[in-house]
Amino acid sequence: MTSQVLDLAGAGIGPFNLSLAAQLDSIPALSVRFFEKRPSFAWHPGMLLPGAEMQTSILKDLVTATNPTSPWSFLSYLVKHKRFYQFLNAEYEAVPRREFADYLGWVARGVTSLRFGTSMREVCAADGLFSVDTDSERVQARNLSVGVGKLPSRPAWAETLPKSMAFHNSEAAARLGDVKAPRVAVIGGGQSGAEMVDALLDLDTVSSIYWVSRRPNFEPLDATPFTNELFTPSYMEKFHGLSEDLRITHTRRQVLASDGVSASTLKKLYRRLYERRFDTPSAVDAGLFLRPYRDVVEAVRNGPEIELTMRNGFDDSIETIEVDLVILATGYRFVLPEFLHSLKERMSYNSIGEPVLASDFSVVWDGPSENRIFVLNAGRHSHGIAEPQLSLAAWRSAVIANSLLGHAHFDLGQLDPFVQWESQGRESLFSSHMGQAAE
């Protein structure tokens, strides 16, 4: 066991804990260590397909928003790799995900508080400390940072399908090369579903692709300016102060602000469809069959094929298709990691079973307030749709750093947002009460 008591032990080194580690790298007074089970850094390797693009600006990197002089910015990466001018000349509308993953990997090789090839196994809390068992060592820490990401989400109807006939898009890089099935259904109308369809169009072995989405159409990511206000610290702070009911309702309404398909991907697919239909007129719709507004309700395996039954919301009818393979682009869900199970009963949960997060991203629990368990990528319903995205990762890391230090090391003050989200009346009522109380 290491005798030193860490200020923070982190589980998982995806972009979110990597951002925290990079921000804390500038604060030598804090002793921190992060553990990652993979042997080296990898960013959603199963989805690192050729042509995949970022959905966020490169300025929304690990550090810049709150620490622009950090050596771990994307711009530093460009300069260090002698590609600053060529990167600018390339005029990317959306940066290739491969390049951003390379940037993240470069940071992960440079920050010294990171340990790879080491899983976090178990955490116990006693005497004002967390005792953390990893594959290689036991450490004690005052605080934890849980950045283990999310698990692939599979619909109930797909549970009985054999692995050979159905896989989640998170396995795409390993599985697509072996696809021999002529008829494939892609389930899910978000960015991952679109990328699956695009990749399948390149495969000679596939003759029919059915793209099925519950959404009424193949809908774009809304990345327009006022929607992007949802991805600001001011909005996140105000959102966190709302009641749980309102937060859940707003999050559902805002789905296309975070989970729609990039306009560039939609255009690319539409053009591929166009070229296939008009360049090869003999091929009727050239094997791409678009099925929006369809909710799959059942999948029945009949020997080598799968019959999918779908409810069509457009004309309110039932429809079936037969395919040989199903690709589930059905999202991800947060699951409390096993190493926290000894503390499970001590944490508070919201009505949909997610841990309740305070404004500094620490879980509300019955332990000492100086022992915080920060949980990253579990705050969609507490902090808003920006929380599972990179957009505010650098800011969140600075919030956590300030909370660890107990003072405002990072300046997080904001100007008033352009949009007045909260009601003026409510604000003046609140301040008049405050005024009365102070009198």
Ligand X SMILES: Cc1cc2nc3c(=O)[nH]c(=O)nc-3n(C[C@H](O)[C@H](O)[C@H](O)COP(=O)(O)OP(=O)(O)OC[C@H]3O[C@@H](n4cnc5c(N)ncnc54)[C@H](O)[C@@H]3O)c2cc1C
- The site for ligand X (CB under 6 A) is made up of 11-17, 35-38, 43-44, 47, 54-56, 119-120, 147-149, 337, 339, 376-377, 388-391
Closest alpha carbon to 382 in 362, 400, 360, 356: 356
Query: Which C-beta is closer to ligand X: that of 12 or that of 384?
Result: 12
How many other C-beta atoms are found inside a 10 Å radius of the C-beta of residue 266? Answer: 17
The CA distance from 101 to 104, in Å, is 5
Q: Cβ closer to ligand X: 300 or 347?
A: 347
| Residue 54 vs 288, nearer CB to ligand X | 54
| Min dist. Cβ of residue 31 to ligand X (A) | 19
Q: How far is the CB of 55 from ligand X (least distance, A)?
A: 4
Cβ nearer to ligand X, comparing 140 with 389: 389
**CA dist., res. 152 & res. 147, Å (int):** 16
Q: Which two tokens stand for residue 174?
A: 């390993």
As measured in angstroms, the least distance from the Cβ of 74 to ligand X is: 13
Angstrom distances, CA of residue 427 to CA of 152, 382, 421, 423 = 41, 21, 11, 6
Name, in order, each residue with C-beta under 8 angstroms of 73's C-beta and a sequence gap of 6 or more: 61, 62, 63, 64
Tokens 């059915």 correspond to 210
Residue 301 CB, shortest distance to ligand X, in Å, is: 28
Contact 300, 160 (CB under 8 A): no
Distance CA 299, CA 316 (A): 19
User: CB of 17: closest distance to ligand X in angstroms?
Assistant: 6
Task: Give the span between the Cα atoms of 34 and 62, in whole angstroms.
Answer: 16
| Cβ distance to ligand X smaller for residue 149 or 287 | 149
CA distance 397 to 21: 8
Q: How far is the CB of 374 from ligand X (least distance, A)?
A: 12
Query: Can you tell me the distance from the alpha carbon of 149 to that of 80, in angstroms, rounded to the nearest whole number?
Result: 29
Contact 250, 176 (CB under 8 A): no
Closest CA to 381 of 236, 259, 244, 221: 244
Up-side HSE of residue 147: CA atoms within 13 Å toward CB? 26
The least CB distance from residue 28 to ligand X, in Å, is 24
How far apart (Å, rounded) are the C-alpha atoms in residues 215 and 259?
A: 11
Q: Considering the complex, state which of residue 337 and residue 355 has its C-beta at the smaller distance from ligand X.
A: 337
Identity of the residue, 14 or 260, whose beta carbon is nearer to ligand X in the bound complex? 14
Instruction: For the CB of residue 393, give the shortest distance to ligand X in the complex, in Å.
Output: 7
Closer CB to ligand X, residue 43 or residue 235?
Answer: 43
Task: For ligand X, give the closer residue by CB, 344 or 433.
Answer: 344
CB of 150 to ligand X, least distance (A): 6
DSSP tally for the chain: helices H, then strands E: 14, 19
If the CB atoms of residues 9 and 299 are measured against ligand X, the closer one turns out to be 9
Minimum CB separation of residue 106 from ligand X in Å reads: 16
CA distance 274 to 286: 10
Q: How many Cβ atoms sit within 10 Å of the Cβ of residue 391?
A: 23
